[in-house]
Amino acid sequence: MAWKNRITGHFGPRILGGANFVLYTAAVVAIVVLANWFVDRHNRRWDLTPDQKYSLSPQTTKL
């Protein structure tokens, strides 16, 4: 905890709060970005049109 005292001694407790804030925010943004990236790689879709108009035919997917 010595380093913590040294930092807070110099700049006051605000800077630790600020670093915490930035880290926390960056972590949440990173998780969301990763989730999007992952789902984009392993995508699934459900075509609700009665004639499956927007899905590839089984013949195409076999290629």
We find the least distance from the C-beta atom of residue 25 to another protein, in angstroms, to be 6
Which residues sit at the interface with another protein, rule CB under 8 A? 17, 21, 25, 28-29, 32, 35-36, 39-40, 43-50, 53-54
If the CB atoms of residues 6 and 18 are measured against another protein, the closer one turns out to be 18
Is the Cβ of residue 4 or residue 26 nearer to another protein in the bound state? 26
Distances in whole angstroms, Cα of residue 29 to Cα of each of 23, 32, 36, 40, 57: 10, 5, 11, 16, 37
- Rounded to whole angstroms, how far apart are CA atoms 42 and 13? 44
Six token digits for residue 37: 């990236």
Q: Looking at beta carbons only, is 4 or 31 nearer to another protein? A: 31
